[in-house]
Amino acid sequence: MSTAFAAAIRERAQRARQALLAARGNGDAHAVLLAEEEWDDVRRLAQAHSLPLPDNGDIDSKAAEA
């Protein structure tokens, strides 16, 4: 896997994480659903390419609460 590809996945993950946290903070249920789907997609993509993402326990723990 190229360094540019890995960087692109990490950047996408960061944007997805920020979007999800913002949507939850705003209480926008529709935006939360969209952001959760994007977050799941980017996590699957990273896992498929054996690319570890930074710890995002703040996202995962809130998903478990919902």
Q: What is the pLDDT of residue 10?
A: 93
Residue 58: what residue type? D
CA distance 30 to 25: 13
Please return the burial class of 29, using the count of CB atoms within 10 Å of its CB with bins 0-12, 13-18 and 19+: exposed
pLDDT tens per residue, range 12-60: 999 999 999 999 999 999 999 999 999 999 999 999 999 998 765 556 5
Rounded to two decimals, the pTM is 0.77
Domain count for the chain: 1
SS3 37: helix
| CB half-sphere exposure, 19, CA atoms < 13 A | 18
pLDDT band at 64 (very low <50, low <70, confident <90, very high): very low
- Is the pLDDT assigned to residue 8 strictly greater than 80? yes
- Kindly compute the dihedral angle of the four CA atoms of residues 28, 47, 56, 61, in this order, to the nearest 10 degrees: 70
For residue 53, give its domain range: 3-65
